[in-house]
A and B are shown apart, each in its own frame.
Chain A
Amino acid sequence: MKKTIPLFIVILGGLIFVAYAFSPHRFLQDDFYNKFYVPWTYASAPFAALLGIISLSMMHSSKIKRRAPKWQFSYFFFAGFIVTALAGLIGGMQKGGLFMWMFENMQMPMSATMFSLLAFYMASAAYKAFRARSMEATVLLVAAIFVMLAQVPLGVKISKHLPTISQWILDVPNLASKRGIGLGVGLGAVATSLKILLGIERSYLGGGD
């Protein structure tokens, strides 16, 4: 019963969404989706968020209790959580308030910093990828040189054909492989959905039978 009822709910929900995909009828598009499904999704999301907050709080409080390595950092979680929550609840989330100030002056720069690291990581990854140690790696290196050079004015100076070659690489071999993967992904997604609908795939129910 522990698995049967959730399985039944999932299969029923899945079948409704199959019908939703194929039927433009008002009952499914308006009455079910807009008036029932969407409001319930909005209503239930905060409860799931609460689960997340409880989980995070429990993990950090247990770290502090156990004096786990680097347990002092857990205080930062609580401090950040409480200050941000209070700033939002008391001062509101509008521009000019403490919450938005913290978002713009703390979270955004920190996120931007993390994102900017990507450039250096890419250089490091490119170095690893472009070492011409095998035939495949050499092809990758040559293709990358063409594409990269075509992106900068210097490439056009070297040869006026470079942008055409670069575009051909992007449009033909690159796009073909992307579409190949895309086709597999699409079919795989349909297969997984079918497995769920037919009750073959049950991992999302929390493992075991």
Chain B
Amino acid sequence: MRLDRRRLILLLLLAFTVLVTVIIAQKQEDKDQYMVKDFQVDDVLADDGSGLVLSWKPLDRSKRIIEYRVYRGVSPDQLFFLDAIPVNVKIGVASDRMYYYDNSGSEFIDIASPRHLKKEKQQDAKSPLYRKMPRDIPFLAGMADKFSLLSLVDKGKYYYSSKQFTTDKPTTPGPDGKIPESGDTYAGLKDYQQSVICFLKPGEKYYYTVVAVNERSKFQKPAAITVGTPIPNPPDPSPALYTVVLEDKRTLQFEWDYPLYKDDIAQYRIHQLPAMSDTMWMQLKQNPEALQGKTNVVAQGGVGSGSLKNYTTIPLTTEEAVAKFAEARYSIELMDYDGFSSYSPLSVPRLKQSSALPPIANFKVEDKPNDKGDRLTVTWDAPICFVVKTTALDSKFSRLRLNYQLNKTEVQKVKNIYFEFFKTGESKPFAKIKEFYQDDKIVLKLPKGYDYKQGFRVKITMEGKPEIPKDYMLEQDLMFDPPMMAIMPTKALYRNGLDVSRISNVVYKKTISSPNLTLVKRNTSFDNSLDVTIPYPSLMQKPVQGLSFAKDDSLITLINGSQGMERKARKLQSGDIKTPLVLLSADLDLVFDKKNETRIDTSLFPSVGVKLAKDKVEELKTTLADLNAQKAALPDPAMAAQLDSQIDKVSKQLAAYSENNNLTHANAIKGKRSRMRYIAGVREDYSRYNTYQVVKTDGKGMFVEGELPKDGEEIRYLKPVSQWFDANKYVTLFATFLFATMVMVFVNLAKRGKDLYIRPIAGIQEIDNAIGRATEMGRPMLYCMGIGSMTDVATIASLGILGLVAKRAAEYDTKLIVPCYDYILLPIAQEIVREAHYSVGRPDTYDKNTVFYLTNSQFAYVAGVNGIMIRERMATNFFLGYFAAEALLMTETGNSVGAVQIAGTDAVTQVPFFITTCDYTLIGEELYAASAYLNREPMLLGTLKAQDYFKFFILTIMILGAVLSTFQFTGLNELLPLK
């Protein structure tokens, strides 16, 4: 068959079709291969119904996936970017499944969110994937109801930039049956003034997908869109309840552990049961009806809002027999906010005497010195010193280096630590070491012939200020550890003979307005204090109450109601705020009235604040009158007495709102800004007052509460104080003043004409000759200031020398090239060179293109400078400033072109390279002196001379300190700051 033209075309077409089909098929196959498989969305167990867990099978390492991007939406046709999970492209994912928990606050809108709805990259028109949720309130209004929203707003923005937004007067009666006189007032903030985070709502449907992105940023096909609904579940049971019956004190002590997820636990209830087997209890607790009547609630309380108190004590009445409680069994029921509960395994009580309890914690709370006022120190013990590890200094273990740790607060000073070492079973120490300078290590010589594998005991005592009790003693056993091939301390730490290593010191805090203690931290017995941070408030957290915006000629508001967000629309009127707003509560706490035990709230807006206070007083008066009338109407005095506590509470609230000075003063201020400034000052001050409690516990029911700090009968609350001066820096300040005085003295001496001798520095003296050489050769000079910025002293010193070099260069009409590394330096260098030309009367020779910015990439700068050196065939190079690895690369090149090179730096590591490759080198401080040396200005010479004398002063102190320390006088060492 002849292959004519037509057949050839046909054949080619066929081949092309086959090729295209194969490529398309291959691509399709590739697409499928890169798609995330087995994607699932499940409810998070034991949570409050605000969490979903996403899981999928990760792609193979060979796919070079760099991240998995998670998308979420409230409908399957619009999914927004939620989060990206980075993956190490080389290692891939080791596990079979990847998990992502969507159970905490995620971004709803933020300043970084796109302004409008934006498709995700590389997506076609049909794709449901979008970038982050847009910062578009009218658009978001459609889905706001599906989430719980929380606004995080800078306090300044909330206080001063909030817009007063009042809803229309309701037409239907409120819960009290009356039609309110006006609408509700909210603080309206624009979308960019805050970050709004969202939480999933129980029972709502959420749609998810996951997209793998490879290292070339190519988005792969999304996983199948999957729906999930979070539902509230019963909390996990407490893993363990510990019960102790203190026989002599006739008390029951309970301590329990919390499950992993404990955020929504609101209450606990401890049940007493008759003795039964674990199997029986398992069956019984699954049947709440059968449980009724068989248990006796002995204790209950609230642990919500992060309190997480995990212990309680129940006193037994004298009539009750201790044995009855010791023989019973106990279980703790943890209840969440949704009413779900779960029971712990049965606890068998231990019968103990109070003498076995840990000692009560005598703690104190102090302001942490020398800080900006955001920390308090809770101290419950004298300084604690213990051996951390030992290292044999020879193969026979005859000499050991012991590293110790000294835990103390900033106000506790330890003068000496005494270590005494005892052989096992002996009471006479074989070695004593007095550690007068605490460098965290000592060297111990073991007695000759002693078998180190037997180990030994170390006894540690200390003296210091505030005075450490004489009988305060810490002991540790140091035993040979065969796997480690070293003598190591055992876990036990004996404090005055009692092993305290299992005792924890748990710190709780209480704010001035809260009735409950909240857990801060559980500390070991190796700690003697805790620094608690009380940050200055900077953010306000407010639940979003609604949204408002104008659309066409309507004002649309969405306000949180009992049925979710209620949407209302009406015609726009004059004075309406058209800007889309996120509406937050305008109410905020002003102060806690300690006398009346009432937290007083007010409003952001002056008129609303005044009205709020007035209405509150009226409401409380009415309530009080009602309660008094109810009480009078009750025939039974016992029942009437029950109302007394309510009447007392309302009376106090009434007194607080009628008489509180802060509220009265705030409401008297007319201007919004000045009123807000006053409110901010009051509320931020009171909210920083805290008190603390330390509980010593073995974690198994043997605990002792420390007493809350008190002033007479009242609990003492403290707030940290911001210090104006760091007391650790007195010596530095003194030295600075001394040096400044010396500078003044020598400057004055120099001004009066006293001849101050400055030793000759060859590198500086040769600067003139080097410039002369370049002039004679008719070649340019290079002035390089290194890679420092204006914050480096070396760069500033270099700028001083540049002025002098530029002046000489201008005088001799020699070209000076200054390539700059830092763009901030460029205009300064240009100005210096320009001034130099003007000062010698040669403005015409100034070319600002000879002082230029090169780059701020280190090695690109080297390449540039080296290129200039070679092309321009430099006669003289100056390398003065701060240099790093590029120094040798540049000076060697300069050397190879035969330039005279003068270098100077304060970077110690580069000095050897300069010495080797340059003709003259200014070492360290000589660089700083160069400007003074060349200028011979009395002012500059004076500082140079003062510098020399001060150096002599420092050397004297150093020698004196070394000598005194040798004789164990460490006062001078301790006086001087470490850094």
Interface residues of A (CB under 8 A from B): 21-27, 29-30, 45, 48-49, 51-53, 55-56, 58-59, 62, 69-70, 94-97, 107, 110-112, 114-115, 117-118, 121-122, 124-126, 128-129, 178, 181-185, 187-196, 198, 200-201, 203-208
B726: A residues at CB distance < 8 A: 22-24
Given known pairs A207-B803, A207-B832, the reply for A111 and B860 (CB within 8 Å) is yes
B740: A residues at CB distance < 8 A: 194, 198
Contact call B928/A188, Cβ cutoff below 8 A: yes
CA gap between A193 and B947 in the complex, in Å: 12
Given known pairs A62-B849, A114-B859, the reply for A208 and B835 (CB within 8 Å) is yes
CA gap between A97 and B93 in the complex, in Å: 23
Among residues of B, the one whose C-beta sits closest to the C-beta of A46 is: B823
- From 555 to 569 in chain B, residues with beta carbon under 8 angstroms from any chain A beta carbon are none
> Can you list 26 A-B contacts (CB < 8 A)?
A25-B372, A26-B372, A26-B373, A26-B374, A26-B536, A29-B372, A51-B823, A62-B849, A69-B871, A70-B871, A96-B216, A111-B857, A111-B858, A111-B859, A114-B863, A181-B925, A185-B925, A188-B925, A191-B946, A194-B743, A196-B796, A198-B743, A203-B796, A203-B800, A203-B803, A205-B831
Given known pairs A188-B793, A191-B928, A208-B835, the reply for A118 and B888 (CB within 8 Å) is yes
> What 0/1 pattern do residues 810 to 854 of B give for CB contact below 8 A with A?
000000000010011011101111111011000000001100111
Contact call B743/A184, Cβ cutoff below 8 A: no
**B797 is an interface residue with CB less than 8 A from chain A:** yes
Q: Indicate which residue in B747, B852, B862, B951 contacts A184 across the interface (CB closer than 8 Å).
A: B951
Contact call A94/B911, Cβ cutoff below 8 A: no
**B790 is an interface residue with CB less than 8 A from chain A:** yes
Contact call A129/B839, Cβ cutoff below 8 A: no
The 4 closest A-B pairs by CB, nearest first: A52-B823, A96-B217, A206-B831, A207-B835
CA gap between A48 and B820 in the complex, in Å: 13
B743: A residues at CB distance < 8 A: 191, 194-195, 198
**B950 is an interface residue with CB less than 8 A from chain A:** yes
B854: A residues at CB distance < 8 A: 56
CA gap between A188 and B922 in the complex, in Å: 13
**B66 is an interface residue with CB less than 8 A from chain A:** yes
Given known pairs A29-B372, A110-B863, A188-B906, the reply for A203 and B723 (CB within 8 Å) is no
> What 0/1 pattern do residues 936 to 977 of B give for CB contact below 8 A with A?
000110011011001100100000000000000000000000
**B806 is an interface residue with CB less than 8 A from chain A:** yes
Per DSSP, chain A at the interface is: helix
A208: B residues at CB distance < 8 A: 835-836, 838-839
Give B887 Cβ to nearest chain A Cβ, in Å: 10
CA gap between A183 and B740 in the complex, in Å: 17
Given known pairs A190-B739, A203-B799, the reply for A24 and B723 (CB within 8 Å) is yes
Given known pairs A24-B723, A193-B793, A200-B940, the reply for A48 and B824 (CB within 8 Å) is yes
What 8 additional pairs, Cβ within 8 angstroms, besides A178-B908, A206-B831?
Answer: A22-B729, A24-B722, A51-B826, A59-B852, A95-B66, A95-B215, A107-B857, A181-B924
A49: B residues at CB distance < 8 A: 823
B917: A residues at CB distance < 8 A: 125, 128
Give B149 Cβ to nearest chain A Cβ, in Å: 28
Contact call B826/A52, Cβ cutoff below 8 A: yes
**B929 is an interface residue with CB less than 8 A from chain A:** yes
Give A68 Cβ to nearest chain B Cβ, in Å: 10
Contact call B824/A110, Cβ cutoff below 8 A: no
- From 888 to 913 in chain B, residues with beta carbon under 8 angstroms from any chain A beta carbon are 888-889, 892, 906, 908, 911-913
Contact call A187/B215, Cβ cutoff below 8 A: no
CA gap between A41 and B800 in the complex, in Å: 24
Given known pairs A25-B372, A181-B923, the reply for A97 and B940 (CB within 8 Å) is no
B687: A residues at CB distance < 8 A: none
**B450 is an interface residue with CB less than 8 A from chain A:** no
Given known pairs A24-B723, A26-B372, A195-B943, the reply for A125 and B911 (CB within 8 Å) is no
Q: Indicate which residue in B729, B806, B908, B954 contacts A187 across the interface (CB closer than 8 Å).
A: B954
A196: B residues at CB distance < 8 A: 796
CA gap between A80 and B790 in the complex, in Å: 28
A56: B residues at CB distance < 8 A: 852-854
B889: A residues at CB distance < 8 A: 114, 117-118, 121
Contact call B853/A52, Cβ cutoff below 8 A: yes
CA gap between A84 and B934 in the complex, in Å: 44
Give B522 Cβ to nearest chain A Cβ, in Å: 29
Contact call A181/B951, Cβ cutoff below 8 A: no
CA gap between A152 and B285 in the complex, in Å: 70
CA gap between A95 and B88 in the complex, in Å: 13
Give B763 Cβ to nearest chain A Cβ, in Å: 15
**B733 is an interface residue with CB less than 8 A from chain A:** yes
Give A132 Cβ to nearest chain B Cβ, in Å: 14
Chain A CB within 10 Å, residue with most, of B217, B806, B858: B217
Contact call B371/A24, Cβ cutoff below 8 A: yes
